[in-house]
Amino acid sequence: MRVLKDESFFRAVCLKTVWVLVLATFALWFCIAPPVWAECEELYTFTGEAAGDVFGYSVSEAGDVDADGYDDLIVGAPYNDAGGINAGRAYVYSGLTGDTLYTFTGEAAGDWFGRSVSRAGDVEGDGYSDLIVGARYNDAGGTDAGRAYVYSGHTGNLIYTFTGEAVDDHFGFSVSGAGDVDDDGYDDLIVGADYNDAGGTDAGRAYVYSGQTGNLIYTFTGEAAEDRFGLTVSRAGDVDGDGYSDLIVGARNNNAGGTNAGRAYVYSGQTGGLLYTFTGEAAGDYFGISVSGAGDVDGDGYKDLVVGAGWNDAGGTDAGRAYVYSGQTGGLLYTFTGEAAGDYFGISVSGAGDVDGDGYKDLIVGAGWNDAGGTHAGRAYVYSGQTGNLSLRFHRRG
Amino acid sequence: MSIPVRPETFLYAFTGEAEEDNFGVSVSGAGDVDGDGYSDLIVGAEGNDAGGTSAGRAYVYSCPGPYVCGDVNADTEISVSDVIYLINYLFKGGPPPQCPPAPYLSCADANGDGSISVSDVIYLINYLFKGGPLPVC
């Protein structure tokens, strides 16, 4: 009995020790638990050719330019000097290899070719994705009338040249593939001329061209002088579900919501009619400094929209903001706000496609003056379309 | 370049390399560049100096695909085998969580506190056997 009692006493002490050890181990694990990190892989880094090129001033998906099954990329360097001082250049890179597929060069010094670049979609109907590049200061249509160039993805040859209407129009300040606006099976194009004077001095204008013929399909004009309508243009996707691709145009200096509150306009591809007008929250927000189709963010079958307001003050003076709107209703789905004053969050926005594979399109927003990596090092953020915030806990380890 | 800032509000944040890079001055979806089935991203940094002062740079990113939160061993379901797998990883030097594509660990953060620990084991057990809440990675 005594022996047994001793044994049970010993067992109890032993168990206690084990428990203390286990708890200590657990406590230790709480303290030194490994952080959960998931990184996006940096696939490629492309670097400007020479000092002062400002390569990366514009970037865009290019679509599958070489029809190898992998999407390609286009980057603009408007101050490149290969074609003359600040003639500018645009570079097309293979998604599969990272190699340069094409280099397009501005016609003349000071053209700023590559100020804007975009996937053009399949303009030729040959199964290769084509490209569009703007040169806002080109002088072919008069001093700074501007120009836009459409290149074949298959051959790299120039398909179309569109030229600004008048001196100082800055046509080509913005360019974008428009999607198939007229449902003829060929993708169409949109070009902005934010200093065009048709609607008043610098009211601005945007032009939609047929990919099949190069003919003008629509002209949209700014509401009032100084609106700078057409400073930004983008394909919107099929916003209203009628089977035609729609369009979005920004006018960052529009005064409807206060001086320079800014505005963005969504147009029907089928009719050219205005579907929605979105207005900046407050004076000086410059809402519309960036616009983009967002893809179907909320999974309702209609393409949605994203607009940036880089000077919005909700997160601090000029912290900036971005807004996501439902294509089906025009209602506000999400608002994303810059981290700190002076970040200019929303200076760039874009649909990102389905980054996290949850079946909903995601979004990317740039804050070029964020200081997290050093003064004005800048930052870019990816948001879940499904939830507007974190659905999967990912960070990028620096 | 670490990113502890308000991670709850975004999926990913990418940060510029150096002062005055203006990384993020341009952004775009990139399509599926690497053919992994998920969309990639491109970001411009017009002021980057790698190629000379303000030569500029552009960065292309591919991010990991979806996973089932709590499916630590990547067999497409949450079961007791995930609990065993996680214990093995935490305390016995076993292989890391197989959140696709490896070596991303997020799927093991069952309680969503930003780290992997025994509390995630307890959370999973609670979910599987005691009717506790779903994993919330």
Q: What confidence score (pLDDT) does residue B109 get?
A: 86
B57 and A48: CB-CB below 8 Å?
yes
| For B1, nearest residue in chain A (alpha carbons) | A398
User: Rounded distance, CA A307 to CA A323, Å?
Assistant: 5
Residues of B in contact with A72 (CB under 8 A): 31, 33
Which residues of chain A neighbour B102 with C-beta distances below 8 Å? none
Q: Which of A15-29, A52-66, B6-20 has the highest mean pLDDT?
A: A52-66
Q: What is the mean pLDDT of chain A?
A: 90
Question: What pLDDT is attached to residue A33?
Answer: 44
Q: Which of B89, B80, B58 is nearest to B124 (CA)?
A: B80
Q: What is the DSSP letter of A359?
A: S
Q: Residues A158-172: pLDDT tens digits?
A: 999 999 999 999 999
Q: What is the pLDDT of residue A29?
A: 46
Q: What does the longest C-alpha to C-alpha distance in chain A come to? A: 111
Flag whether residue A332 sits within 8 Å of chain B, measured between CB atoms. no
Q: Which of A57, A357, A395 sits opposite B46 (nearest CB)?
A: A57
Instruction: Tell which A residues from 36 to 75 touch B, by Cβ distance under 8 Å.
Output: 36-64, 69-73, 75
pLDDT digits (tens, 9 = 90+) for A247-289: 999 999 999 999 999 999 999 999 999 999 999 999 999 999 9
- pLDDT (0 to 100) of residue A394: 31
CA distance A187 to A180: 4
pTM: 0.83
Inter-chain contact A394–B109, Cβ cutoff 8 Å?
A: no
At A112-157, the pLDDT tens digits run 999 999 999 999 999 999 999 999 999 999 999 999 999 999 999 9
pLDDT in tens, A219-249: 999 999 999 999 999 999 999 999 999 999 9
Instruction: Compare A39 and A124 and report the one with higher pLDDT.
Output: A124
A53/B31 Cβ within 8 A: no
The pLDDT, as a whole number, for residue B74 is: 78
Alpha-carbon span A75 to A397, nearest angstrom = 26
Q: List CB contacts (< 8 A) between A316 and chain B.
A: none
Cα-based angle A48, A57, A207 (whole degrees, multiple of 5) = 130
The residue that leads in pLDDT, A24 or A174, is A174
Higher pLDDT, A14 or A393: A14
pLDDT of residue A274: 98
Facing B16 at nearest CB: one of A35, A373, A391: A373
H or E element that contains A188:
strand A188-193
Of residues B59 and A24, the one with the higher pLDDT is B59
Nearest to B114 among A36, A39, A59 (CB): A36
